[in-house]
Structure 1
Amino acid sequence: MELCFATNNTHKLEEVSAILGDAFTLKTLRDIGCTDELPETSGTIPGNSRQKAEYVWTHFGVSCFADDSGLEVETLNGEPGVDSAHYSGSRDHGKNIQTLLTNMTGQTNRRARFVTVFTLLLHGVEHQFEGVVEGQILTEPRGAGGFGYDPVFVPDGHDRSFAEMSSAEKNGISHRSRALTKMVAYLDEQVIM
């Protein structure tokens, strides 16, 4: 089955490709001729995910899926949340992490969670799948792998940040892999039926 992953984020493409394996033929936005900036103006993670998938389906008529993710920090009332990618006012990962750590100065509650929502538009019919991983925010970055907030996020049950884990380790427990696993299970049912 061919599906387009509606993202220009190469890190997400690598993660999703590794998780999907050979079960599906994954097309990129470039593969379908889409060079547009996809909309992300809904104000919620599920809404942004939906907007991106709907844009591809409406303009290109291709079955696709899109995701939106965010880091929700308990002591910051869920920030950065839907604004995670540009929390510092830019898309610079280092600046976003520094803004987060500055805003958490003096906080003893370090609880946080990563949330991903995939929106699948299969022949125009929408389905959403959520993945969550709970954890803690470190006081300083650790590790050189991953992207985004990975250097400051330690998932529950582990003592290393996502950035200190191999791609395979992270993909085994991440919010994105949990949402994607649900979506793949649904797609497998559709192929069998």
Structure 2
Amino acid sequence: MPVLVVATGNPGKLQEMQAYLQDLPWELQLKPPELDIEETGTTFLENAALKASQVAKALNQWAIADDSGLAVEALNGAPGLYSARYGTTDQERIERLLTELGNNPNRRAKFICAVAIAKPDGTIAAQVQGDCPGEILPELRGAGGFGYDPIFYVPEYQQTFAEMSAALKHNVSHRGQAFALLLPRLATLPD
């Protein structure tokens, strides 16, 4: 079974990707912890491709990477690439976002997820971007999920990500959309 290195040191991210890729004949492995890739791209796609390419070249194996975040329209796309660094805890990130958004009536936002797969020589074999449109609520709703999930409301389902079942979020989220686009391409990649 061919190996696909997940360009992260986060075991939770590995499990998440395994759930999306469970029907494919790849063995997913975490990248070595000493292999640290700096995210210097200016878009989610650039960062995903950068991480996948550098890990693939360093290990001479196929690699997959993602980059994701929240883009709020009234904040000119912030926090965007800095979603994870918008504060030191989920609570701080949410408080900062809600403070900056204030009473602005434009609550439109979207979660974005870019995924890239690199060949062992570092060339990108496939890359996709999925997104999930929604709105930012002024207060938290739901106990599930993580990060911005309690304030990210999806009108189509009348729930925040934190209120959704894991199965529903798996399918409708930005990550779910990205992997839905990626799976047909991944199934055709050579061993």
TM-score in terms of structure 2 length: 0.90
Counterpart in 2 of 1:16? 17
**Distance (Å, rounded) in 2 between the aligned partners of 1:20 and 1:155:** 25
Structure 2: tracts of 5 or more residues without a match: none
Counterpart in 1 of 2:153? 154
Q: Is the 8 A contact 1:75 1:107 kept in 2?
A: yes
* Structure 2 counterparts to residues 42-191 of structure 1, below 5 A: 42-88=41-87, 90=88, 92-124=89-121, 125-126=123-124, 127-190=126-189
**Distance (Å, rounded) in 2 between the aligned partners of 1:50 and 1:72:** 20
Q: Is the 8 A contact 1:11 1:147 kept in 2?
A: no
**Distance (Å, rounded) in 2 between the aligned partners of 1:68 and 1:130:** 9
Q: 1:189 to 1:121 in 2, by over 3 A?
A: same
Counterpart in 1 of 2:3? 2
Q: 1:9 to 1:147 in 2, by over 3 A?
A: farther
Q: CA deviation at 1:35?
A: 2.7
The number of residue pairs the alignment matches comes to 187
2:5 partner letter = C
Q: Is the 8 A contact 2:53 2:119 kept in 1?
A: no
RMSD over aligned Cα, in angstroms? Answer: 1.8
Q: 1:104 to 1:11 in 2, by over 3 A?
A: farther
What percent identity do the matched residue pairs reach?
39
Q: Is the 8 A contact 1:16 1:177 kept in 2?
A: no
Q: CA deviation at 1:104?
A: 0.9
